[in-house]
Structure 1
Amino acid sequence: MTALAALLCAPAVALAQPYPDYARESLYVPVRDGTRLAVNIYRPATGGQVATERLPVIFVFTPYRARIRNAEGEVVETALNDNLGLRSLLRAGYVVAVADIRGKGASFGARRGFQDRTEAMDGHDLVQWLAARDYSTGDVGMVGCSYLGGTTMHTASTAPPALRAIFTGASDWDKYAFVRRGGITAQFNTRPDEPLSDDLASLPVDADPDGALLREAVAQHADNTSMAGLWYGMPYRDSVSPLTGNAFWDEVAIWRYADTIREAGIATYMWGNWNDEPTSDVILAAENLGSRLLVGPGSHCETPRDFAFTQEIVRYFDHELKGLDNGFAEQPRVTYWSDETGDAGHYVRGGEWPGARSQTAAWYLGDGSLAARPPEAGARTFAVDYDVANDAYFAFWPSPLDEHGLVYDGAPLAEPMDLLGFPTAHVTIAADRPDVDVFVYLEAVDAGGTAEVVSFGRLKASQRALSAAPWDNLGLPWHSGREADAAPIPAGQSATLIVPMLATSYHVPAGSRLRFVVTGADPRQRNLADLRQDPAPRITVTHGWAYGSRIELPLNVTGDE
C-alpha cells in the first residue's frame, strides 16, 4: 500500500485526544436586532477539569435543533455526534458551539426566508461573539452538511473577521439552479415544513428550567415563511417573491458573494458524495472558490466509506486554526472516489476537478436504441405519466423510471466504460402543448437486468435558450431561467433541449448496458397533483443525424493514477 493510500484508508490511525471529557452550557445570545438565539457551548475537559487555555472554536448553525429529547426520551446532542467530526474536535482541543437558527429549535424569532441575509448576519454575529469569549483564541471555524453546509457558506459570505475556515458538505452554489434546476421544482427542498411540536422537543437553555422561554420562542416560529411556498412562488430566476417582496433567488445565491469569501481569506473545503444532487453544485463552488474538494461514494451527507473522514476534518482545522505543520498544506487540493465494479473503488488525489480531462463520446437515441452511431431518422411519442409518486420523504436520488416514459437501450458493452464528469443530453422534441417538463436519466443495467440511475437532469422546454453563465460553469450548458428568456415551443415546430446532467463517477462493466430514459414527470415533484393535466401532454422525441438527439458521455480515458 502506498503512503497516500495508507493515509486515505486509515480511520484506525489514532487522533490526538488530550481532552476526553467536556463541559456544556447553554444560553441565549442576542444578535444585532435583539433576537435571542439559543447557543450550546461544549468546552474540552480532562478528569472533570475544564481546559483553562484559550482554544479555537468550531461553530455549527442548525435548523434541526442543537439538543432534543427524542420519542424514546433520550437526549440527542448535535455536538456529541461524530458524523462531522464534532466529538473528535472536542477531544482534540476545540470548543464546539451549536446554535439554533432563528425561527427553529429553542431560538426566538421567525424565519423570513430560507437562508436569507438575516440568517447570514445572525451567523456573523455569533461568530464574532464566540471569538470574544475568554476561552477562545479568537479563531473560529465552521462545519456543516446540507442546510448546515448552507449556513457555513452564508455566514462566510458576510466575512466575519474571526472566521478562518469552513468545511462545507452538500450545499448549493446557486439556489435557483439547485431547487428549480431547469426551471422545474423537483427537489427535496420542497418538502413540507416541520410542525412546531418538533421545536418543542428542544431542551431549554440552562436559565430556562421550566421551559417557559422555550414555549415563548417556539410560538414565534408560527410566523416562519413557508419553505416550499417560497420556492413555488418564484418560477423564474428574476421573479419577485410575494412572501419576501424581493428577487429572493438573488439574495440567497452564494455565487454573488464569492468575491467576499475569497477576499476575506477564509479557507474553504467543499464535500459531496456522488449519489447526491448537491454534489454538482459542490464541484462548481470548489472550482470557483479555489477550494479543497472531496467527493466520496454514497448518498446525502453520508460519511465517505474507506476514508479517514474524521481525521481529515481534524487535520484540516488543525492546519487552518492552530497552524500545525501536519502536512495538510502539501496535500493535493482534490480528492474523489473513482468507481469500480460493484461496491469497489478507490480514492484519487490531484489538482483538478473530477472529469476535467475526460473526453466526450456521443451516444445517439434511435428507435428504442442507444448507440455510438446515428440511426435512421424517426420519432417516438409518449403521454406524460403523472403516476410516478413514491413514499420517499427525502428522495435524494431517483429510482429507475423506465416504466414511465421512453426507453432507449444500448447493447451490452464489449469493453468496460468509465464515466467521470458531467453528461449532457441533447433531446429534440415536439409537443401538443406550448410548454412541457422534460426529465432525462442515464441508467446502467447489469447482465442480470438490475438498473441503477447514474445521472439525471431536467429542463422546462420554455427555458431551453442558452446563455452565458455569470461564473465559470466548467464548459457546461447554462440556461438563465429569466422570464424574458422564456419561449414556448411554437405550434407545429420542434425544439432541441440541451440538458446538463449531474456529475458522476461510474464504472460500467463489460456485459452491462447503458439505458437512456425520457419522462415528463418525476417523483420528486411534490406538487404533481397541481401539475397534472387531462388529457396528459404528448411529447414526441425525434432522432436521426439531422436531429442530433443524443447523450454526451464524459469518458475517463486518461486514467486517474
Structure 2
Amino acid sequence: MAAALFAIMAVAPATAAAQPYTDYARESLYVPVRDGTRLAVNVYRPGNGDQVATERLPVIFVFTPYRARIRNAEGEVVETALQDSLGLRSLLRAGYVVAVADIRGKGASFGARRGFQDRTEAMDGHDLVQWLAAQPYSTGDVGMVGCSYLGGTTMHTASTAPPALRAIFTGATDWDKYAFVRRGGITAQFNTRPDEPLSDDLASVPVDDDADGAMLRAAVAEHAANTSMAGLWYGMPYRDSVSPLTGNAFWDEVAIWQYADAIRDAGIATYFWGNWNDEPTSDVILAAENLGSRLLVGPGSHCETPRDFAFTQEIVRYFDHELKGADNGFAQQPRVTWWSDETGEAGHYERGDSWPGARSQASAWYLGDGALAARPPVAGARTFAVDYDVANDAYFAFWPSPLDAHGLVYDSPPLDVGMDLLGFPTAHVTIAADRPDVDVFVYLEAVDAAGAVEVVSFGRLKASQRAISPAPWDNLGLPWHSGREADAAPLAAGQSATLVVPMLATSYHVPAGSRLRFVVTGADPRQRNLADLRQDPAPRITVAHGWEYGSRIELPLAREGGE
C-alpha cells in the first residue's frame, strides 16, 4: 500500500532545520500476534518532500491503551507519534521509524484485555517488536519509549526479552504492582478509576484498509469483554490473593521485579524517568537501582516534561547512542540526574552515580502533644475519629492537597536554618484503635512564613499489614511489608502497635522561617471507594507519643553536594 506523505515543519521546533528529515510517511494496518488477534499498528517513516527514506533505520515502538490515532470532538485527528512529550516527533526527524500500536482490547485493536498488563499483553509487545524488526525499512534494532501505562507496556515487553529490543526509555512505571496499586495494603488513586466507555475506542481512526470502519466496529465490540481494572485490583487484598477474575495469583504475574533477570540477561539498555511530585517515582528509583539503569528525576507531576532540561534531546541522544552506536558522549555521562530543589521555582540539576539520597543522613523529629520536635516529649496520646469527608473535585489528583483539617496535626517551631531533604522519609507511628483494623495515612508538609502549606511526601499503611519482612529485592534500606495474608495481624482490643511507614522520595528545600508539619489521617481523597469504606460510627485512632513509643518521622537530610 502506498503510504500518504505529510509535512511536519509547521509544528517542528526552531532547531528542526538541523534535522535530516522534515517530513514523514504514515501507514496503518492490522498485524496478527501469536494467537491470531489482530492489533492496530501505525508506522511513521521519515522522509523529505515526497521521498520516503530508503535506507534501513532503527525503530522506536510505543504500545498504548490510549488510542494511537483518534478523531477528537472538533473532528481533528490526533496522533501519538506526532507529539513530542516523549520525543517521538524529534525521533522521527532524527532518522527513526516510529511505530505506535493499540494494545488488545483498546483503540482499534481486536481482542479483549484479560488483565491489566498481563503476560498476554507482554507477549503481544514481544511479537510486535519482532515484527517491526523484520520489516524492510528496519535495521532490526528496536527501542521503546513510554510513560505511565505506556511505561508499563515498555517494561512488560522488555520482560519477555525480544531479541530485537535493544533499549528502553520508560517513565512513571512500577517495579512491584502490588506495592504500586495497594501501597501499604490500601488502594488509593492509581488504576482504580472507572473503565472508559466503548465510545472512546470508536473515536479511533480506522486502519488504512478499513475505509468504512467496519473492522473498527467489530474490534471495539470485542472490547466489551475486557476485565475491569478497578474490579481486578479491589478483588485482591493481599499480595498472594488469587483473583476471582483471572483465577491466578495475578500480582505475581504483573510484578516486573519477577522478570528482572530476564531483562538483565537480555542486555537491554534501560533508562528510567520520574518527577518528584508523582507517586510512581519511588518505584522508578527502586527499578533503576535494581537494574543498574540510568535515571532521571525531574521537578513536576505525572509524566510532565521536566522543566529547564533538554528532555527530547536527551531521549534522542540516548537512542542515538544505543541504537545507532553514536559516539556522542552519552557513555561518559553520569548514570543519575536529578532536580535539586531550592526555594520556590528555583533549583538545579545534579548528576552522579548514586540514587538521589543514597548518602543522606536521617534526622528524627518526634511527635508530641501537637508538636514536632528534635527531642522526644513527655509521654501522652491523642485520639481522632476517621473523617471520610475528604473527597475533592479532582478526578485524577496525582499529589494530595493538605489534609490538616482531617486528622491529627504536629507542627515544628519555625526553622532557624533551612533544611534540604533528599531521599525517602520514614514515619514511625505507635497507634491503638477501637477496631481490629484501620487505614493510616501520614503526610509531611512544609508551611512557609506566610502560612502557605505544601505536601512534601506521604505514605500509607493498613494496620494489619504492619509486619516487616525481608524484601525480595534491594529495597534501599526501606522497611518492606510483605502484604501476604499469612502475615496479616489484626489489632487486639486495647493493643498498641508501631507502624513503620516508608514515605515517597522527595527533593525539597525547607527555607529558614518555615515550619515542618506532620499529619495523620484515616482516609485520603484519592481513595475512590470512600463510600464503600465508610463506617458508622467512624473508627477512632489513638497516636501515642513519648520516648517509650518512639512516634517520629525520620527525614533524609542531604549532605553537602546533594548526595
Superposition TM-score tier, normalisation by shorter sequence: over 0.9
CA-to-partner distance for each residue in 1:391-434, whole Å, 9 max, x for gaps?
11111100000000000011110000000000000000000001
CA-to-partner distance for each residue in 1:421-459, whole Å, 9 max, x for gaps?
000000000000010000000000011111000000000
Q: 2:504 aligns with which of 502, 505, 508?
A: 502
Amino acid at match of 1:164: R
Q: 1:541 aligns with which of 543, 546, 549?
A: 543
1:46 aligns with 2:31: no
SS in 1 for 2:142: strand
SS in 2 for 1:324: coil
Q: 1:318 aligns with which of 317, 320, 323?
A: 320
Amino acid at match of 2:77: V
* Aligned position for 1:256: 258
Q: Residues 69-108 of structure 1 correspond to what in structure 2 (within 5 A)? A: 69-108=71-110
Aligned equivalents of 1:259 and 1:391: distance in 2? 42
1:60 aligns with 2:62: yes
SS in 2 for 1:189: coil
CA-to-partner distance for each residue in 1:65-106, whole Å, 9 max, x for gaps?
000000111110000000000000000000000000000000
CA-to-partner distance for each residue in 1:214-269, whole Å, 9 max, x for gaps?
00000000000000000000000000000000000000000000000000000000
Moved more, 12-21 or 98-107: 12-21
Aligned equivalents of 1:412 and 1:194: distance in 2? 47
* Aligned position for 1:141: 143
**Cα contact 1:15–1:311 (8 A) shared by 2:** no
SS in 1 for 2:494: coil
CA-to-partner distance for each residue in 1:28-60, whole Å, 9 max, x for gaps?
000000000000000000012000000000000
**Quick one: structure 1 residues 109 and 98, their matched pair in 2 at CA, closer, same or farther if it must change by over 3 Å?**
same
* Aligned position for 1:4: none
Aligned equivalents of 1:479 and 1:62: distance in 2? 32
Aligned equivalents of 1:306 and 1:439: distance in 2? 33
Aligned equivalents of 1:299 and 1:313: distance in 2? 19
**Cα contact 2:408–2:519 (8 A) shared by 1:** yes
1:329 aligns with 2:342: no
SS in 2 for 1:553: strand
**Quick one: structure 1 residues 15 and 458, their matched pair in 2 at CA, closer, same or farther if it must change by over 3 Å?**
farther
CA-to-partner distance for each residue in 1:155-200, whole Å, 9 max, x for gaps?
0000000000000000000000000000000122111110100000
* Aligned position for 2:3: none
Size of the aligned set, in residue pairs, is 551
Q: 2:285 aligns with which of 279, 283, 286?
A: 283
* Aligned position for 1:179: 181
CA-to-partner distance for each residue in 1:488-524, whole Å, 9 max, x for gaps?
0111110000000000000000011100000000011
**Cα contact 1:357–1:558 (8 A) shared by 2:** no
Q: 2:192 aligns with which of 181, 190, 193?
A: 190
* Aligned position for 2:5: none
The Cα of 1:16 is off from its aligned counterpart by 4.5
Q: Residues 419-498 of structure 1 correspond to what in structure 2 (within 5 A)? A: 419-498=421-500
**Cα contact 2:16–2:93 (8 A) shared by 1:** no
- Gapped regions of structure 1 (runs ≥ 5): 1-10
Aligned equivalents of 2:15 and 2:163: distance in 1? 34
RMSD after superposition: 1.0
**Quick one: structure 1 residues 329 and 289, their matched pair in 2 at CA, closer, same or farther if it must change by over 3 Å?**
same
SS in 2 for 1:190: coil
Q: Residues 337-486 of structure 1 correspond to what in structure 2 (within 5 A)? A: 337-486=339-488
1:220 aligns with 2:219: no
SS in 1 for 2:445: strand
**Cα contact 1:143–1:149 (8 A) shared by 2:** yes
The Cα of 1:143 is off from its aligned counterpart by 0.1
* Aligned position for 1:152: 154
Amino acid at match of 1:187: Q
Amino acid at match of 2:356: P
* Aligned position for 2:247: 245
User: After TM superposition, which residue ranges in structure 1, 4 or more long, deviate above 3 angstroms?
Assistant: 11-16
Aligned equivalents of 1:414 and 1:48: distance in 2? 66
Amino acid at match of 2:197: P
* Aligned position for 1:7: none
**Cα contact 2:432–2:494 (8 A) shared by 1:** yes
1:127 aligns with 2:122: no
Amino acid at match of 1:196: L
**Cα contact 1:113–1:230 (8 A) shared by 2:** yes
Aligned equivalents of 2:121 and 2:18: distance in 1? 35
The Cα of 1:388 is off from its aligned counterpart by 0.4
Normalised to the residue count of structure 2, the TM-score between the two structures is 0.97
**Quick one: structure 1 residues 15 and 369, their matched pair in 2 at CA, closer, same or farther if it must change by over 3 Å?**
farther
**Quick one: structure 1 residues 476 and 114, their matched pair in 2 at CA, closer, same or farther if it must change by over 3 Å?**
same
Aligned equivalents of 2:208 and 2:494: distance in 1? 69
The Cα of 1:23 is off from its aligned counterpart by 0.3
Aligned equivalents of 2:468 and 2:312: distance in 1? 41
Amino acid at match of 1:99: A
**Cα contact 2:415–2:512 (8 A) shared by 1:** yes
Amino acid at match of 1:258: A
**Cα contact 2:16–2:22 (8 A) shared by 1:** no
SS in 2 for 1:186: coil
* Aligned position for 1:116: 118
* Aligned position for 2:8: none
Amino acid at match of 1:330: Q
The Cα of 1:15 is off from its aligned counterpart by 8.5
**Cα contact 1:358–1:558 (8 A) shared by 2:** no
Aligned equivalents of 1:158 and 1:428: distance in 2? 43
Aligned equivalents of 1:484 and 1:299: distance in 2? 36
Amino acid at match of 1:492: G
The Cα of 1:551 is off from its aligned counterpart by 0.1
**Cα contact 1:293–1:335 (8 A) shared by 2:** yes
Amino acid at match of 1:243: L
**Quick one: structure 1 residues 206 and 198, their matched pair in 2 at CA, closer, same or farther if it must change by over 3 Å?**
same
**Quick one: structure 1 residues 15 and 326, their matched pair in 2 at CA, closer, same or farther if it must change by over 3 Å?**
farther
* Aligned position for 1:307: 309
Amino acid at match of 2:428: H
The Cα of 1:14 is off from its aligned counterpart by 6.9
The Cα of 1:13 is off from its aligned counterpart by 7.0
Amino acid at match of 1:365: L
SS in 1 for 2:191: helix
Amino acid at match of 2:265: E
The Cα of 1:559 is off from its aligned counterpart by 2.3
Aligned equivalents of 1:214 and 1:12: distance in 2? 38
The Cα of 1:557 is off from its aligned counterpart by 2.4
CA-to-partner distance for each residue in 1:370-409, whole Å, 9 max, x for gaps?
0111000000000000000111111110000000000001
